[in-house]
Structure 1
């Protein structure tokens, strides 16, 4: 039971991480110090896309699922299991990534303009 809770908690934190990646820059418009956390999150997101490095949250969720007697995550991990083909069709992956990048850049431009 505890392993299942760990796996589910990792999944929820992963969704929250992705939501913060998309809109966290806008939170910095109000709470300026959060820009540093968002820069770290955006950097990690970019690193994982460019290098394919596996997210620790994916590792934790997979570990929890396997120890709970459930099937592990598929080879593509969290994104392939919960996002691609579920929230948007796989053929739009690059378009979605571009949209998130534009959203993040827009939030940073707004952050800089609001600081002045």
Structure 2
């Protein structure tokens, strides 16, 4: 029971990380200190997508699920919970490009808001 709860907690943290990856730049508009964390998250996301680096959260969830008597994660987090579930598999690239667009817009908006803040001083 404990391992299943830990696995579910890791799964929720993973969803939170992905939400932060997509939208954290917008949070930085209000809380500028968040931008450094968002840059790190985007860097990790790029490394994962472009170089195929496996996320440790997936490994932890898999381990906890197995220790809890479940099958484990037969594939990666995104493949298990999002691709083919939330959106069709053939839209994976589209979803990745939308997330990249959200990041770009959020960072551009951050830069513009910081520029206007400097003008007001």
Taking structure 2 as the reference length, the TM-score comes to 0.93
Q: CA RMSD in A?
A: 0.6
Greater gyration radius: 2
Q: How does 1:1-116 map to 2 (within 5 A)?
A: 1-75=1-75, 77-116=76-115
Contact 1:21–1:42 (8 Å) recurs in 2: yes
- Structure 2 stretches lacking a partner, 5+ long: 116-121
Count of aligned positions: 115
Moved over 4 A (4+): none
- Segments of structure 1 that go 5 or more residues without pairing to the other structure are none
| TM-score using structure 1 length | 0.97
Write the distance in 2 (CA, Å) between the matches of 1:78 and 1:84.
9
Pairwise CA distance, 1:5: 1.1
Counterpart Cα distance in 2 of 1:54 and 1:100:
19
- The secondary structure found in structure 2 opposite 1:92 is helix
Deviation by residue 1:4-44 (Cα, 9 ceiling, x = unmatched): 11100000000000000111000000000100000000000
Question: Cα offset for 1:96?
Answer: 0.5
